[in-house]
Structure 1
């Protein structure tokens, strides 16, 4: 399957979910180009952006797994290329 470029936005509202989020990101590390995490202490949340080069199924799988974690929202924007 052909790889696509994507940027995934992840918002972590529950600090107890961070370990699960990091585990999933580690599981998909072969597809991750880079990531940037921003802890926003005033609102007690973390925002993470992840750049990926992966098959569409893998991008959607990661987004779905992250979205199932309590206190986590994940959305992917995928290139048409």
Structure 2
């Protein structure tokens, strides 16, 4: 399956309880992550992580599905058409 460039946006609502689980998954998929940025938004008690990925649709679906299954984590993603 062909790899394509894309992004994943992750919002973490309860950082203290979920950050470790998110980090573990990102480490597991680390070979597909090109760039990662993270910003804690303390005023709202949220953290936001954006990833640039070079991956297949299957791997993207696997990662985003696992992230989305973590309570307090919201995920959106997209891949380039080519």
Q: TM-score range by the shorter chain?
A: over 0.9
Query: Which residue is 1:27 aligned to?
Result: 28
> Do structure 1's residue 50 and structure 2's residue 51 form an aligned pair?
yes
Q: Is the 8 A contact 1:6 1:59 kept in 2?
A: no
CA distance in 2, matches of 1:44, 1:51: 24
Which has more helix, going by share of residues? 2
Query: Which residue is 2:4 aligned to?
Result: 4
CA distance in 2, matches of 1:79, 1:2: 11
CA distance in 2, matches of 1:28, 1:7: 13
- CA RMSD for the aligned pairs? 0.6
CA distance in 1, matches of 2:37, 2:63: 17
Shift in Å at residue 6 of structure 1?
1.0
CA distance in 2, matches of 1:78, 1:65: 18
Gaps of at least 5 residues in structure 2 are: none
Aligned length: 81
